[in-house]
Structure 1
């Protein structure tokens, strides 16, 4: 899948959230949105990354950003993950990974010498007009939010 680049229009999506609602990128037009893709809820790296977003959410919101986490997990697993980690932002289920594919966050991965298709830990920042302002792929779970904050000029 081709990766997104700054100034491209971000692909629209409508996905079910862990809280039972549905979230649409179009509904967030007018504010900046951080869309981060993570492989699996309740795994060590994904938990660390989600908790970093949770712990930085007030300052991100204060700077005008909405945070959305997207994984291929079913809604039920996301609901448990959100509750167990007291996550304070929407977790969205992309079970068929169509949104991840559209964002270039699904593709070939290598792990312990094995090659397979899967979710590539990625973050895309969408500006108020729906354009990509930042696109980061193969990000590290630990320290990613701090780096993103620096990249956005928030630190």
Structure 2
């Protein structure tokens, strides 16, 4: 199994249209003219994914004030994402990529190490996309805990 193709700063962000937690389709094009943080996570309502989503929600007002929207994408169904939003009182956009096609286009699905074994799965990744749809930052294999704080510092917001 080959590594997923990784994106880099300067690449065009792959376009996508996915259902949100209400079943409504949301496209990256809907955010044209705004900066967007797109992050991929393995599974809603697990400890690391919950921590990361709650951290983005806690920082959402600051990020919005600096012109950023936040989109979290996982392979979970819209119904599970709705439960995740409700349970954790999340304010960020949550999208369902059940066939993992968007994850694959971003290099966020592929071989990874899990407890010392090589497996296929979601690679926890974050992308900062500028208002013109170009990738400013591509971060792979991020750690859920502390990630949002580090990202805020990198964006010079903290």
Task: Answer whether TM exceeds 0.5 for this pair.
Answer: yes
Q: 1:39 aligns with which of 7, 28, 42?
A: 42
Kindly indicate whether the alpha-carbon contact (under 8 Å) linking 2:17 and 2:27 is maintained by their aligned counterparts in 1: yes
Deviations 1:99-119 (A, max 9, x none): 000001011122223221000
Q: Any residues of structure 2 matched to 1:1-155 within 5 Å, and which?
A: 1-155=4-158
Classify the secondary structure of the residue corresponding to 2:148.
helix
Q: Which runs of 5+ in 1 are unaligned?
A: none
Kindly indicate whether the alpha-carbon contact (under 8 Å) linking 1:73 and 1:95 is maintained by their aligned counterparts in 2: yes
Q: Give the root-mean-square deviation of aligned CA atoms.
A: 0.8
Q: Which runs of 5+ in 2 are unaligned?
A: none
Kindly indicate whether the alpha-carbon contact (under 8 Å) linking 1:19 and 1:90 is maintained by their aligned counterparts in 2: no
Of stretches 84-93 and 108-117 in structure 1, the one that deviates more from structure 2 is: 108-117
Runs (4 or more) in structure 1 with deviation over 4 Å come to: none
Classify the secondary structure of the residue corresponding to 2:59.
helix
The number of equivalent residue pairs is 155
**What is the rounded CA distance, in whole Å, between the counterparts of 2:135 and 2:143 in structure 1?**
20
TM-score (norm 2): 0.96
**What is the rounded CA distance, in whole Å, between the counterparts of 2:143 and 2:119 in structure 1?**
19
Classify the secondary structure of the residue corresponding to 1:133.
strand
**What is the rounded CA distance, in whole Å, between the counterparts of 1:144 and 1:92 in structure 2?**
20
**What is the rounded CA distance, in whole Å, between the counterparts of 2:88 and 2:116 in structure 1?**
32
**What is the rounded CA distance, in whole Å, between the counterparts of 1:107 and 1:96 in structure 2?**
13
